[in-house]
Structure 1
Amino acid sequence: MDPLTQGLLGASVPQSLTKKQHIVVAGVLGALAGMAPDLDVLIRSSSDPLLFLEFHRQFTHSLLFIPIGSFICALVLHWLIAKPRGLSFKQSWGFCALGYGTHGLLDSCTSYGTQLFWPLTSERFAWNTISVIDPAFTLPILILLVFATLKRNPLLARIALLWGLIYLTLGVVQRDRAEASAWQLVNERQHTPLRLEAKPTFANILLWKVIYETEDKYYVDAIRLGASVKTYSGESIDKLNVTKDFPWLDPNSQQAKDIKRFRQFSNGFLAQDPADKLKIIDVRYSMVPNEIRALWSIKLSHEADASAHVEYTTHRDSAPESRQGFLRMLTDF
């Protein structure tokens, strides 16, 4: 999720549980600790472009790291914020732990993937219930927490937290509806998927991207879930076959290892870019949900030596026709 939402949810929990005289400092500590796990984006390498993919949403987001991460936050924030206002270090640590603990769980509600139980497992959990940015989720929490802080009223913070839980639950209901509709579409096509997933599109839980995998292809479609269900049939693409698509690639080279790393990050949803045969795309994301137009990719090189890394590229699909296509589906106009 975006930092603002992470901070707000992080503030809502300690504010819900504290006394009114501590609601301001509890909110500040919870908000800052709630955003802190995303400092892992600073773990980067100028020589290894995929390093940040491995560490983002890894150890700092693990449920097992909450005591350590919140303790580090408390060490910094107690002396700057809490101690001058009469709180003990134990109270500061508690508020930071409550805020920090919300981060990994909220990120797991998105479709990006979060290593919730690192180092026990490197599995990325993605419950696909909310977009990484969703104003309908964030704005009510923001408004309620502002009034909770101004009025020193923990009840309003509890209502904000309740709204968050209700919205995430609604996301689960919508995801299940999208998957059920997708299975109907699959049956009509007489396909036999190996797996099928539905993901919310940007900033809403009304329009969903559905992706399913067969023996040799990925298929993407869009499904709008209002009072009625509307399906927008989409595109398909061949699954990545490294041996077939890159017969020249040394399997022991760093580029081959980087493909495996990118595959783990992308949960296996990889394909060769039809427009550039040296690119490998993550099929999961696109601006228009029934299209295969990746938001990021890696690029190989024939000339690279055995120790050279791939090139990582992001693609911002800001074309007017893409925005209009997305809005047409979202609004059903």
Structure 2
Amino acid sequence: MDPLTHGVVGAMAAYSVSSEKNRKPAVVAGAGAALIADVETFIHLPSDPLFNLEVHRQFTHALVFIPVGALIAAALFWWVLRRHLTFRDLYLYSLAGYATHWFMDVITSYGTELFWPFVDTRFAWNLVSVVDPVFSAGLILFTALAIGLNKKWLIYVAWAWMAIILAVGWMQNNRAEGAMTQTAAERGHFIERSVVKPTIGNQVLWRTTYISGDSVFTDGVRTGYFSGITVFPGEGEPLVFIEDEFSEFQGRTLYSDLQRFERLSEAYLIRHPDKPDVIGDARYSMLPTSLIPLWGVETDTTNTDTHLPFLYFRDSGEEIRTRFSGMLFGRDLPE
């Protein structure tokens, strides 16, 4: 989830458990604590580009780390808020704010290691986009009114707004999944694994990606609230199997990095259509119908003992924007 929404929800949580006299400093503590979990964003190893991906939404987002993260946040904010709060109260509000972070990330689509260090499975509920203006605007509005008017019931309205948007996301996700299942059946495909994700900023246009046999397929699905469901046929590409295609490099850094990227990508690996040396994550693209990956690693079989470069392929040009908005608003209908 984006930082602004994280901060607002952290403020909502702290406000909800605060006493009337402590509400404003509680909001500061809760918002700040909710943001601290993303400190891992700044952890980099220049020599190992995949390291940052591995720690992203990892230990600072794990459930077992919540009390520790809250304590760190309380210690940092103590110097600012010690005249307004006891350390006990500050820790309570920091705990409330920090404890929201994992939830706000798991409702999005990247995946969060909730049970680190016991398992490295990433959980993603795929209910809202990482950035969703409608979702965030409602939370910001009701929280601002609650703070400005000192009306606690408005915070409960903000929580209700969140629940409604998540319920809508669950419904829309299921509708898109149903369309994906029907489309695959019409193609004669048996779905072995699949993932359904909202596209950026909305709960109307979805990206469905499934594996059938040794190939991966993606489609766009528009789940209009009043206009029914429209499927935008996408692309299919053969999967890349690291164990088969790169077996001769076992024991080398190249092979190890490919295995790490395979785990991070949940084995949805393809070659970039225009860059055959790039192995990309098929789950993400600028368009829901495209298998041009948003990111990938570049392989160099002549240099197998160096960590693989991690590359981004974000094309937000006019053509991409026009095609995306056409699908989102139902202007581009499939033939």
TM-score by length of 1: 0.96
Q: Distance in 2 between matches of 1:166 and 1:211?
A: 26
Report the secondary structure of 1:84's partner residue.
coil
Q: CA deviation at 1:245?
A: 4.0
2:63 aligned partner? 63
Kindly provide the CA deviation profile for residues 25-45 of structure 1, in whole angstroms up to 9, marking residues without a partner as x: 111111111111110011101
2:256 aligned partner? 257
Report the secondary structure of 1:292's partner residue.
coil
2:108 maps to 1:110 = yes
Q: CA deviation at 1:111?
A: 1.1
1:152-231 paired onto structure 2 within 5 Å: 152-226=150-224, 227=226, 228-231=228-231
Q: Distance in 2 between matches of 1:243 and 1:124?
A: 22
Root mean square deviation of aligned Cα: 1.3
2:12 aligned partner? 12
Opposite residue 28 of structure 1, the aligned amino acid is V
Q: Distance in 1 between matches of 2:98 and 2:115?
A: 15
Report the secondary structure of 1:277's partner residue.
strand
Q: CA deviation at 1:160?
A: 1.0
Q: CA deviation at 1:302?
A: 2.6
Say how many residue pairs are matched.
329
Q: Distance in 1 between matches of 2:167 and 2:112?
A: 19
Q: CA deviation at 1:9?
A: 0.8
Q: Distance in 2 between matches of 1:287 and 1:273?
A: 13
Q: CA deviation at 1:243?
A: 5.1
1:143 aligned partner? 141
Report the secondary structure of 1:205's partner residue.
coil
1:289-328 paired onto structure 2 within 5 Å: 289-306=288-305, 308-328=306-326
Opposite residue 239 of structure 2, the aligned amino acid is K
Q: CA deviation at 1:18?
A: 1.9
Are the counterparts in 1 of residues 249 and 304 from structure 2 also a CA contact under 8 Å? no
Q: CA deviation at 1:303?
A: 2.5
Are the counterparts in 2 of residues 13 and 99 from structure 1 also a CA contact under 8 Å? yes
1:43 aligned partner? 43
Opposite residue 114 of structure 2, the aligned amino acid is L
Q: Percent identity?
A: 35
Q: Which sections of structure 2, spanning at least 5 residues, go unmatched? A: none
Are the counterparts in 1 of residues 246 and 255 from structure 2 also a CA contact under 8 Å? no
Q: Which sections of structure 1, spanning at least 5 residues, go unmatched? A: none
